[in-house]
Each structure stands twice: as C-alpha cells, then as structure tokens.
Chain A
Amino acid sequence: MGFPSPAKDYQEDVIELSEYLVQHPSATFYFRVSGDSMINACIPHGALLVVDRSVKPVSGMIVLAVVNGEFTVRRIVQTSKTLVLHPENAAYKPLAVTEEMNMQVWGVVTATVVKYKYDKNDRIG
C-alpha cells in the first residue's frame, strides 16, 4: 500500500471547460457558423458559438439575430437614430434595421470555440 500521497489533501477538481464557457446552462445554446463575415471578431468559418439567451443585448455585443426569419451573427450597434447589424469583415455591408424589417435578437454570443484541424502539411486546415 505504501504511504498516502502527500498531494491528496491538495487535490482539486479538474478544470471543466464548459463551466468556464457557460454561465447560465439553462439559457445557453450552441451554434456553428459557416462563412467569414465575422472574422475580425475572432469568429472564423466553422467556429462554434456559445449563445446565452439570458444576457441582455447591449450596443457593441455580438449577437445571434433573426432577420426576417433567418439567423445571422453580427455586432449590434445602437446609435442615437438607428440600430445597425455590423459584420466584422470589410467585404460585407452593415445592415441598418428598419421598421419594416422583422429583427429579433435570439441570444448574445458569449464565447467562440475554435478547434484546429491540421492538414498533412501541419497547417491549420
């Protein structure tokens, strides 16, 4: 049997990444993105988004929005007059939300998870 490990008393639980990423489990959902329109906000093609519905959207946050029935991910910016959905890639145009548009914030993106896949040249695929 030997002596008990002196480290035993100092043992802690292992790190659970989901605890770090998710503050409100009942209100948190995951989505994946396809496309590069949010690349400058560290959301590359294929990224997994952590979306928290219980967080109140505030100007400047990245949100999962529903525009006329379609999901999209954009930075929401409220100016004195308009509400704008901003892409994070110069190749894409911002969208000013108008009265006729049916826009809802589905949830706030609180984290992005990117898992690397390496190709045979050890480059990120």
Chain B
Amino acid sequence: MIALVDCNNFYASCERLFQPHLQNRPVVVLSNNDGCVIARSDEAKVLGIEMGAPSFLIEPTLQQHDVSVFSSNYTLYGDLSDRVMNTVSRFADQMEVYSIDEAFLNLTSFRYNNLTEYGIAIKNTVTQNTGIPVSIGIAPSKTLAKIANRLIKKRNKHLGVYCLDTMEKMQYALQNTEVKDIWGIGSQYAKLLTRNGFVTAWDITRAPEEWIRKNMSVTGQRMYQELKGISCIAFEDMPPKKKMVCVARGFGKVLNEKNEVMEALANFTAMVAAKLRSEQQAATAIQIFLQTNAHRSGDKQYFRSLTIQLPVATNSTRELISHAQQGFETIYRPGYNYSKTGCTAMDLVPADELQYNIFDKENRERDSKLMKVVDMVNKSFGKNAVRFALQGFGTRWKLRQLKLSPCYTTRIEDILTIRI
C-alpha cells in the first residue's frame, strides 16, 4: 500500500502557526509580487475566494470579511516543509517528496494490520510536532492514494485519513471522482474521455483495456492500471536533479532606466549562480529575457530573450553576470517600461565534471575559490553582504511583498517576541 501525506492549505497553515488568533479566520497567501491568490484557508474558500484570483479584483471581499492577507514567504514555508518531511519519513522505509507539501510513503513491505490506525498516528504526530495539519490517503497505487486524499479533504476533513483497503471502498472512491480530477489526466485526455461517455474514474476502470490502448498513450494505460489498484508508477526516492535553474521576477513597478533593469538582471543571475553552486551544478548556457507589461495597454510592448552559450560550463557569479550583461547590451532597447527580467541556467552539468577548454582565458581555480568565500561570507553575514558592483543597492526592481511575515524559524532576528 502507498500513502500520500498532503498538508492542508499548506501556506495558510504556515502563516497561522505563528499567529494563533487567525485560527478559524479566513487567511489567503498571495503569489510573488502579491499578484494573485495561491493559498486559502477553509474559511477563505467558504467566502468564495478562488485559487488564482487576482488580488485587486477580490480586494472588496478581503476588506469586507477582514481576511488576513500574506505575501508568500518561501523561506518560512520551505523550513516548515522540511520539518514535515523529516517527521513523516520516520514512518516508512521509503519516501518520495512529491512537492513542497506532499509526500508518498511506501508501505508495501509493511505488515501492519490496521493501516487506517497507522495513518492516524502519522497524521497526529505531524500535526503535533510541526503544527501543520495533514490529510492522508492510503491505497494500492499512487493514483488511488491521490484520489483517497482528495476525497477525505473534500468530505471528511476532520477524520484526515482514508484508506482504500477493500473493493467496496475503492469502488466508492472511483465513483465519486470525476475524470478531470484524476491525477495526471491532462485537459486533452479529460476531453477525450468525457466525449466518449466516461464521467467518473469508475467508468474508466470498466472500459475494455483494448479501447484505452488504442486511444491513449502509455501514460493513459498506466493510469488505467493504477485506477484498478495495480501500482505501476515507480517510487523516486531522490527528486531528479534539476535540468534548469531559473530566477525570473516581475518588478515592484515598471522600470525605464537602463541601469536599474540591468541591476535586477544581475541580482537574478547572482541568485541563479548561488543556486547552481549549492547544488554542485554548472550551466553550459544561460538564457536571459526582458519584457514589458502586456496588461498596460498604453505602453509600447517589447519582449526579447537571448540564449548565450558559455565557453565553459560555470557556476561563477562573476562569469555569469558578465555574460548576462553582454547579452543585456544586445537585447536592451531604450524607451520601454520594463516589468520583468530573468535568467535561466540551462544544460546543467555536475560541477566536478567540467570540461575545460584549452583556449579558455579565465582563471577558474581562482574564481571558484572566490565564489566559496562569497558564499561563506553571505552565509554568515546575510544574503548579499558581498555582491558584485553590477548588483547595486537599488530597491525599485525588488518584489512587492507588502504583507510578508517574518522568517520566524530561520532568522534569529525574526524570532517572534511574546509579551508575558
């Protein structure tokens, strides 16, 4: 059997943990730049606030119902996610962290006669130790575990655990899951299935295998098996190493000064470089882009991206910024109101397998030593304590995060003070 542990309204739950007066109150979390809703507490869902709703559109609802609004604080969410995953991992030999707030547990080799009870023990321990409420679906396959999890959240959230351990329960779960809500079904397949009269997941399991094979890809056939309770999506203990690292963000307000836009790009490139180094990877190429805001109808529009092949794969901030700057000179056009820029590192290779180029003029050893020092200093003295001149000290390109909560768990100066 496989369990899917999924945090309830994860980002909203993280914010609430340190503001207990928000328990039972509507809470929403906004995306980068405070653009739209990316998490809602149950109370906010009841108010009809939709996922993805642009914040300026729902402003009246937020005001009227005194909804607590937060900018996304990924530092906080990342730390609490680690705590949840650490706690969960003790309950099984094999765990796959599927996303920031979900993990699959492999309970196959597990001889416990009451898996529902075991699930309740997991749920209670995670909620007690980390303060983050979770729901758990347990079933013979990943796809069914997803379905079980979704149903318990929708129908019996207070129970929190749903184990599909009999044919009857499985049938009930499948009959109560619409085709479009099956894990891994894209909108194309959902349409195809609906057109052919499939309404629920149960209907799919009744279809002749022949039909599935003819009309759907390998993914479709796998889903068919999984729905029937035959596990065929493998466990991935380690998330596959990233093939790309991208930092791209909109500015707090539009920028039309060349050096300000370049400063933003240099900072994002520096973040990409630091990420690469922390994962011991190096980029073979980078892609940079500049764009204006398509929603400002009065503005002239411009979008340009440029891929730059690097002479030698690197993760040095100095080198990457210098290439990004050359690229920037090529694609920058004056007279536009820029709203976003970014840098993507591509074709990543392990940093210890770098192929050197005999015509290479860079002093790589010195550079890599320098980067180690930069990372060390920034680790002890704070992000960007040491920076390259191009990164500047400007703030206009910075994210709009008006309602950012403190990093309670990762910065000593952000620790919550309690009046006693």
Contacts and interface: CB of A to CB of B under 8 A. Distances in A.
A80 B21 CA distance: 30
Interface string A76-106: 0000000000010000000000000000101
A30 B128 contact: no
Nearest to A70: B21
B21 A27 contact: no
Contact of A72 (B21, B23, B131, B420): B420
Contact of B418 (A25, A27, A31): A31
A111 interface: no
Given A29-B409, A31-B417, A34-B417, A69 B130 contact: no
Given A37-B420, A38-B420, A32 B415 contact: yes
A27 B415 contact: no
B87 A53 contact: no
B20 A66 contact: yes
Contacts of A48: 415
Interface-centre pick from B20, B86, B131, B416 (highest chain A CB count, 10 A) = B20
B106 to A, nearest CB: 20
A52 to B, nearest CB: 9
A76 to B, nearest CB: 14
B189 interface: no
B418 A32 contact: yes
B419 interface: yes
A108 to B, nearest CB: 11
Contacts of B129: 24, 26-27, 53-54
Interface in A1-56: 24-27, 29-35, 37-38, 43, 48, 53-54
B21 A31 contact: no
B235 interface: no
B400 interface: no
Given A27-B87, A27-B130, A33 B408 contact: no
B83 interface: yes
Interface size grouping (class) on chain B: 20 to 34
Given A24-B129, A27-B130, A32 B416 contact: yes
Nearest to B409: A29
Contacts of B131: 53, 106
A106 B83 contact: no
Contacts of A104: 20
B293 to A, nearest CB: 40
B20 A69 contact: yes
Interface residues on A, range: 20 to 34
Nearest to A45: B420
Contacts of A31: 415-418
B140 to A, nearest CB: 29
A14 to B, nearest CB: 17
A69 B409 contact: no
Given A33-B417, A34-B419, A72-B418, A27 B20 contact: no
Contact of B20 (A24, A25, A73, A106): A106
A84 B131 CA distance: 23
B420 A73 contact: yes
A95 B282 CA distance: 59
Contacts of A33: 417-420
A27 B88 CA distance: 12
A31 B21 CA distance: 17
A30 B406 CA distance: 13
B415 A26 contact: no
Interface in B388-420: 408-409, 412, 415-420
27 contacts: A24-B129, A26-B82, A26-B83, A26-B87, A26-B129, A27-B130, A29-B408, A30-B415, A31-B417, A32-B416, A34-B419, A34-B420, A38-B420, A53-B128, A53-B131, A64-B418, A66-B20, A69-B22, A71-B20, A71-B416, A71-B418, A72-B418, A72-B420, A73-B418, A87-B420, A106-B20, A106-B131
Interface of B: 20-23, 82-83, 86-87, 128-131, 408-409, 412, 415-420
Given A32-B415, A73-B418, 16 more contacts: A26-B130, A27-B83, A29-B408, A30-B409, A30-B412, A30-B415, A32-B417, A32-B418, A33-B418, A34-B420, A38-B420, A53-B130, A64-B418, A69-B22, A104-B20, A106-B131
3 tightest Cβ-Cβ pairs between the two chains A and B: A69-B21, A27-B129, A26-B86
